[in-house]
């Protein structure tokens, strides 16, 4: 059935995807949360594709298998990236294009600078690149835990995302913006509320560690140290610290407009002539 309050004249077509893989618990929780809003389709990677950002598959055919999720729901498993999944949905794998893309729920947060690495956010951005409104959804482990066997409670963040779907389908919702939704690692009863936020800044403490050698090959690790962040109010990172659900509007326009104004004063034609011998 159509989402309440939407301006779409047919049942809302919702594409659910992720980067953790079609059988991850987060995508199951998210799909179940939006099931009642319209016609739901799942196209997701066949395995974990975390931190692949906006990678696409161009040298090999995309393999698509029909699979069942844990509750028996029919889904498409793709031997490609989250962006590939959205493009498949937009180009006809599910018939007509979707009206909205919902990506997640990611196993772990996508905050601050991390959004540039995130396959979850990349899938949503691909939606807006194609003119389809989109929502990215991520959830911290309970207690902020990590390592083997972290536990997640997706109830609040997926229910909240479901509330956003009808809003995203309104004609007045900007088609170049995604909602990046992150839930702190607490049960729903312990949430302090929700906040509209801006992106914060991560502080990475990576180091180059030689883990071993094999013949002429050296094996290095550079990622994995605990991250911190700048303690700035109003950011998505500070909201999570305060046990608030964070909603950050993101867009894809990376152009530095102020920088263009500064560069307009440069003698670009003269610079070109000096390096290229243009008369």
111-154 pLDDT, tens per residue? 998 999 999 999 999 999 999 999 999 999 998 765 567 899 99
Segments making up each domain of the chain, as ranges? 12-203+230-276
- pLDDT-based confidence at residue 52 (cuts at 50, 70, 90): very high
pTM: 0.88
DSSP result, 115-170: GGT-HHHHHHHHHHHTT--EEEEEEPPGGG--SSS-----HHHHHHHHHHHHHHTS
Residues 6+ apart with CB under 8 A from 253: 176
Helix or strand run (H / E) with residue 261? helix 257-263
| 185, 237 contact by CB (below 8 A) | no
* pLDDT surpasses 70 at 65: yes
* pLDDT surpasses 90 at 226: no
CATH 3.40.1210.10 fits 12-203+230-276, yes or no: yes
Q: Which two tokens stand for residue 143?
A: 């207690």
The Cα–Cα gap between 85 and 57 comes to: 10
pLDDT score of 1: 40
pLDDT score of 171: 84
Q: Specify the range with the lowest mean pLDDT, choosing from 81-90, 145-154, 188-197.
A: 145-154
The Cα–Cα gap between 28 and 48 comes to: 14
* pLDDT surpasses 70 at 6: no
* pLDDT surpasses 60 at 4: no
The Cα–Cα gap between 135 and 101 comes to: 6
């Amino acid at each position: 059935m159509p989402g309440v309050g939407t301006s779409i004249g047919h049942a809302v077509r919702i594409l659910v995807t992720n980067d953790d893989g079609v059988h991850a618990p987060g995508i199951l929780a998210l799909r179940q949360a939006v099931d009642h809003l319209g016609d739901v389709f799942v196209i997701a990677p066949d395995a974990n594709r975390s931190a692949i950002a906006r990678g696409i598959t161009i040298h090999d055919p995309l393999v698509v298998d029909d699979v069942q999720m844990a509750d028996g729901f029919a889904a498409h498993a793709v031997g490609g990236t989250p962006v590939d999944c959205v493009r498949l949905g937009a180009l006809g794998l599910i018939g007509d294009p979707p009206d909205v893309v919902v990506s997640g729920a990611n196993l772990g947060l996508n905050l601050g600078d991390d959004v540039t690495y995130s396959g979850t956010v990349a899938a949503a951005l691909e939606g807006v690149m194609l003119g389809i409104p989109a929502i990215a959804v991520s959830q911290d482990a309970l207690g902020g835990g990590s390592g083997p066997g972290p536990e997640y409670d997706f109830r609040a963040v997926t229910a909240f995302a479901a509330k956003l779907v009808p809003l995203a389908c309104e004609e007045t919702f900007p088609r170049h913006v995604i909602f990046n939704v992150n839930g702190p690692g607490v049960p729903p009863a312990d949430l302090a509320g929700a906040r509209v936020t801006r992106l914060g800044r991560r502080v990475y403490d990576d180091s180059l560690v030689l883990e071993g050698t094999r013949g002429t090959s050296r094996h290095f690790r550079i990622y994995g140290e605990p991250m911190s962040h700048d303690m700035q109010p109003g950011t998505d990172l500070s909201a999570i610290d305060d046990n608030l659900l964070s909603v950050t509007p993101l867009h894809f326009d990376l152009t530095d407009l102020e920088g263009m104004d500064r560069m307009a004063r440069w003698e670009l034609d003269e610079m070109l002539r000096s390096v290229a011998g243009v008369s």
